[in-house]
């Protein structure tokens, strides 16, 4: 469909022989698909995340929109083990008694 599509990045018509389709209704010039936060090019070597029609690299998407620890406010990595208490999520080392500071373990 080159020539018919409009670039979600610059708004121009895509007449290039190649375009990048990130979702069924969003297409970019190859040069226009960049992280909306840091400007990193998002190509086949970088995972692309969408939010509200904007594209983000994995690092910025996690920083801006990812779940954060209720105690230290840091984001979680995919390898982190977590503790959940109602609507809150904590790193294991951050899940502590508010009165004495002792680390709480499952079952406490």
What pLDDT, on a 0 to 100 scale, did the predictor assign at position 28?
A: 82
d(CA 105, CA 10): 51
Q: What domains are defined for the chain?
A: 19-64 (2.10.110.10), 67-107 (2.10.110.10)
Name 23's Cβ contacts closer than 8 Å, sequence gap at least 6. 50
d(CA 3, CA 1): 6
What pLDDT, on a 0 to 100 scale, did the predictor assign at position 3?
A: 55
Q: What is the pLDDT of residues 48-99, one digit of tens each?
A: 898 988 899 988 998 899 889 999 998 888 788 899 999 999 999 999 998 9
What pLDDT, on a 0 to 100 scale, did the predictor assign at position 60?
A: 92
Mean pLDDT of the chain: 87
């Amino acid at each position: 469909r080159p020539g018919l599509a409009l670039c979600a990045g610059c708004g121009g018509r895509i007449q290039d022989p190649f375009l990048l389709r990130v979702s069924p209704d969003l297409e970019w010039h190859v040069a226009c698909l960049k992280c909306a936060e840091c400007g990193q090019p998002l190509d086949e070597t970088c995972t692309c995340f969408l939010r509200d029609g904007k594209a983000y690299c994995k690092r910025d998407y996690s920083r801006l929109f990812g779940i954060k620890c209720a105690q230290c406010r840091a984001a979680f990595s995919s390898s982190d083990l977590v503790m959940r208490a109602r609507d809150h999520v904590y790193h294991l080392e951050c899940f502590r008694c508010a009165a004495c500071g002792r680390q709480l373990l499952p079952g406490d």
